[in-house]
Amino acid sequence: MSSLAAQRRRATAGRVWSQFRGSRQGAVGLIVLFLFVAMALLAPVLVDARELNPVFARAAGNPQWASPDVFGPLGTDHLRRSVWAQFVWGSRVSLFVGLAATVLTILIGSVVGVVSGFVGGRVDAIMMRVTEWFLVIPFLPLAIVLASVLGRNVWNIIFVIGVTSWPSTARLVRAQVLTVKQRLFVDRARSLGAGGGHLVFRHILPNVSGLIVANATLAVPISILTETTLSFLGLGDPSSPSWGKTLEEAFVNGAIIRNAWWYFLPAGLGILAVVLAFTLIGRSLEEIADPRLGRVR
């Protein structure tokens, strides 16, 4: 790679970053996400992990169903555990599962979608049949089977989510690739002598990246919610707390009837904030990736 090209690449990266900082919604999303990521990473510093243990909680003399003004900062649950501890530690699993499963989903989906749409012909036909096969498999039975066969831990949950949710991404990406492939600039590059790799990486991918990013921002909350679902069904990792598990336990133990809002609200708002942050970031990335969406200044 010539130094001129490298220089240009650095300039582009710099431009994206400065534009991103310039976009208010992107900045807000990034700050919110940064706070949650920091919280997840600093969990061992912020809260003693033993507070998640009911035995420890009882031994510490915590009250049961205490509201935040009785037991700070976020009250306790039916097992006398600190909700704050669950919130902090839960963010780790939720964020990790959400991000990792999304990466897996998007990776499989994009590769299948791009290859299928770009190569076309028989390859496309076979890949799409496989995709449809995955698409029509009922999610829950497969997840239950996989979880019980593979065992209930975080990695398996990620695998289950990734393997079951890529087909819709693949179909979406494939459709977009087919559209972009028809565009005149692809013809132009072809007539300049461009090969498949050049076409895919210089023309197809940049023009479907917006869609992939948008899809990823939607996939993160879905992954987080899927993790919740699996936890709810008792297929979650029993050893680690997550926001989904918190919500489920609050629901099962009658937090709503007891009006113990402090039990479920933090986890719910946490999910909401993370989902919103991803949407904001995704939207402004999309705007930067597509110069035409940029505002007139």
How many Cβ atoms from other residues are within 10 Å of residue 9's Cβ?
11
Instruction: Kindly tell me which of 152 and 190 has the beta carbon lying closer to another protein.
Output: 190
Which residue intervals of the chain are DSSP H helices? 3-22, 24-41, 43-46, 54-59, 83-119, 121-136, 139-150, 154-182, 184-191, 196-198, 205-232, 243-252, 261-289
Instruction: Kindly tell me which of 163 and 213 has the beta carbon lying closer to another protein.
Output: 213
Instruction: Kindly tell me which of 45 and 184 has the beta carbon lying closer to another protein.
Output: 184
Instruction: Kindly tell me which of 248 and 286 has the beta carbon lying closer to another protein.
Output: 286
117: tokens are 């749409």
Q: Cα 291 from chain centroid?
A: 25
281: tokens are 């970031």
Instruction: Kindly tell me which of 9 and 58 has the beta carbon lying closer to another protein.
Output: 9
Instruction: Kindly tell me which of 122 and 297 has the beta carbon lying closer to another protein.
Output: 297
198: tokens are 């050049």
In the complex, least distance from residue 27 CB atom to another protein, rounded to whole angstroms: 20
Instruction: Kindly tell me which of 62 and 207 has the beta carbon lying closer to another protein.
Output: 207
In the complex, least distance from residue 114 CB atom to another protein, rounded to whole angstroms: 16
CA–CA separation, 214 and 211 (whole Å): 5
Cα atoms in the 13 Å half-sphere on the side-chain side of 146: 21
In the complex, least distance from residue 196 CB atom to another protein, rounded to whole angstroms: 12
> Which residues bind to another protein, rule: CB under 8 A?
2, 4, 183-185, 187-195, 198, 202-203, 206-207, 289-292, 295-296
Residue of 142, 146, 122 lying closest to 134 (CA atoms): 142
In the complex, least distance from residue 202 CB atom to another protein, rounded to whole angstroms: 8
In the complex, least distance from residue 188 CB atom to another protein, rounded to whole angstroms: 5
Residue linked to tokens 């919130």: 87
What sign does the dihedral 121-126-129-130 (CA atoms) show? negative
In the complex, least distance from residue 5 CB atom to another protein, rounded to whole angstroms: 8
In the complex, least distance from residue 183 CB atom to another protein, rounded to whole angstroms: 6
Produce one character per residue of 48-78: b if its CB has 16 or more CB atoms within 10 Å, e if not.
eeebbeeeebeeeebeebbbeeebeebbbbb
